[in-house]
Amino acid sequence: MVDKGLDHVVIECGGVGYLCQATPRTLADLPRGGEAHVLTTMVVREDSQTLYAFPDAATREVFGVVQSVSGVGARLAMGIMSVLSPGELADAVAAGDVKALQKAPGVGKRLAERMAVDLRGKLDAFAGTAPATAAGTGSGAPDVAADAVGAQVVEALTGLGFSRDAAEAVVGEVAAAEPGADTGTLLRLSLARIGGGAR
């Protein structure tokens, strides 16, 4: 891996560098300068060709399936995959849990209802595979505006569609609970918490 940003990674293969869009969940596990194995898919549009990187076949498959819903393109699908794992998404669809689907940036009530209907039966293979998550207990969050790492994470979250107020509040709580956390760790933990409520 040659380089990574808040929403992309550059991987060298055969002497050629490939820039791939990726979710913060994926990026957090990729070591800068080290070897990385990702699965990719290319989305071709009239004015662009974009590579998307995924940690496993399940995530890549769900990325494609989600786009079968009217109104969900590659960018929104990446936002959904940033907040919900394949198992969490499958469980939400199976249960018709519209509120869980609305945790994803850019997904309002109407789109969440459409997803619950259109994806029913298409994600059954991933149901029951959602990882256990720990509940957050942070309080008394510090001001993250002056912190370079916190500011980067806030920008990443707002880029995914979360409101700046919600992003700053969550990043502040996580930073208080995990002092000294690097950008990747802070982003991953903030995503886990913001996916649980704040928008």
The domain 3-54 is placed in CATH, from the list 2.40.50.140, 3.40.50.720, 2.40.37.10, 3.40.640.10, at 2.40.50.140
Q: What is the pLDDT of residues 46-97, one digit of tens each?
A: 999 999 999 999 999 999 999 999 999 999 999 898 888 899 999 999 999 9
Which CATH code for domain 57-126? 1.10.150.20
pLDDT digits (tens, 9 = 90+) for 128-145: 765 554 344 343 444 444
0.85 exceeded by pTM: no
What CATH fold (topology level) applies to the domain 148-194? Helicase, Ruva Protein; domain 3 (1.10.8)
Sequence-distant contacts of 78-84: CB under 8 A, at least 24 apart: 78/21, 78/23, 78/52, 79/104, 79/105, 79/106, 79/107, 79/160, 79/161, 80/104, 80/107, 81/23, 81/25, 82/23, 82/24, 82/25, 82/160, 82/191, 83/160, 83/191, 83/194, 83/195, 84/195
Confidence of residue 154 (pLDDT cuts 50, 70, 90): confident
Tokens, residue 176:
């208080």
